[in-house]
Structure 1
Amino acid sequence: MAEKQTAGRDRLGKLAPKFAELNDDVLFGEVWSREDKLSARDRSMITIAALFSAGLYPQLKSHLELGKKHGITKEEAVEIVTQLAFYCGWPKAWSTFPLIEEIYGE
């Protein structure tokens, strides 16, 4: 059983309570929990790719951390970014590698 997500309520509960509820209960509570359809590890890889392609680095950092918890290795994270660099942008890779070092260590 996955850990209950509270980031929405923790960060946005007062400002945007409905958004926080949807984030925690629907996105993470219902969608991410469907591991019989797609593993959390695979969902992390897909989410990392989507956030990387959009250049959303604060969320990307959070999902790299989550991906690590879901079993994505440092070498796999580097390979994901290397692959995506050709499709989504070289500068985005340069911006993401320091996040990987921060999360996984040098």
Structure 2
Amino acid sequence: MFCEVWAVAGLSPCDRSLVTIASLISLYRENELPFHMKKALESEVTKDEIIAVITQLLGLANSHDRAGYCPPAIR
């Protein structure tokens, strides 16, 4: 299924990686972040783009328990 999902048309590899990173952070799936962050960088996503996504997520956090959450993989 993993390969099938990544092969679906409509998103560039960079966009797909950024959506995946945002989803994993939102779902607290920090054990999967290192793999997907490495793949994102290999797909030509920049470090600044990843930081922008993380910043956006932190700005959208609407509760105190999530506002300070920062997965170890992105520290």
User: TM-score normalised to the size of structure 1?
Assistant: 0.58
Contact 1:82 1:93 (8 Å CA) reproduced: no
Instruction: Give the fraction of aligned pairs with identical amino acids, expressed as a percent.
Output: 30
Give the aligned CA root-mean-square deviation in angstroms.
Answer: 1.8
User: Relative contact order (alpha carbons < 8 A, sep ≥ 6): 1 or 2 greater?
Assistant: 2
| Structure 2 residue 58 is matched with structure 1 residue 81 | no
Between structure 1 and structure 2, the one with the greater Rg is: 1
- Counterpart-to-counterpart distance in 1, 2:73 and 2:58: 10
- Counterpart-to-counterpart distance in 2, 1:90 and 1:66: 26
Segments of 5+ residues of structure 2 without an aligned counterpart are none
Report how many aligned residue pairs link the two structures. 71
| Structure 2 residue 72 is matched with structure 1 residue 72 | no
Regions of 4+ moved over 4 Å? none
Which residue pairs with 1:32 in the alignment? 6
- 1:96 Cα shift? 4.6
Contact 1:81 1:96 (8 Å CA) reproduced: no
Segments of 5+ residues of structure 1 without an aligned counterpart are 1-25, 99-106
Contact 2:30 2:71 (8 Å CA) reproduced: no
2:22 to 46, 49, 58: 49
User: TM-score normalised to the size of structure 2?
Assistant: 0.77
